Amino acid sequence: GAGVSQSPRYKVAKRGQDVALRCDPISGHVSLFWYQQALGQGPEFLTYFQNEAQLDKSGLPSDRFFAERPEGSVSTLKIQRTQQEDSAVYLCASSSRLGQGIIQPQHFGDGTRLSIL
């Protein structure tokens, strides 16, 4: 497709379960980002990949959160032993190239709404 695709759109899980969220970036985009958006807030940065390399994971809230992009395309955000405070919309964004003086905006998917019961 032409845009960033995320699946599932909605995920309901019981507290303590593991979940996996998928992101298909725009074809050819080397940069991929994950954000978490709580209700009434702006998105907050979680982690950043350039191709398959995870260059920044400073926003991951705990070691229960893990992200990977093994082949430099599709990415998966995994949350282990989910807790109620993990309930949020998880957004994925991709960009064609980022570098000094070379900026392309990040394009977002529609997100996965995660609800932990």
Partner 1 sequence: DQQVKQNSPSLSVQEGRISILNCDYTNSMFDYFLWYKKYPAEGPTFLISISSIKDKNEDGRFTVFLNKSAKHLSLHIVPSQPGDSAVYFCAASSAYSGAGSYQLTFGKGTKLSVIP
**Residues binding partner 1 (CB under 8 A):** 4, 6, 31, 33, 35, 40-45, 48, 56, 59, 91, 93, 95, 98-101, 103, 105-111
Nearer Cβ to partner 1 (14/100): 100
- What DSSP designation does 77 have? E
Closest by CA to 22, choosing from 81, 67, 60, 75, is: 75
- The phi, psi pair for 84, rounded to 5°, reads -60, -30
Preceding amide of 8 cis, omega within 30 = yes
- CA distance linking residue 10 with residue 70, whole number of Å: 24
Nearer Cβ to partner 1 (33/65): 33
To partner 1, the closest distance from the beta carbon of 9 in angstroms equals: 9
To partner 1, the closest distance from the beta carbon of 114 in angstroms equals: 14
Nearer Cβ to partner 1 (82/95): 95
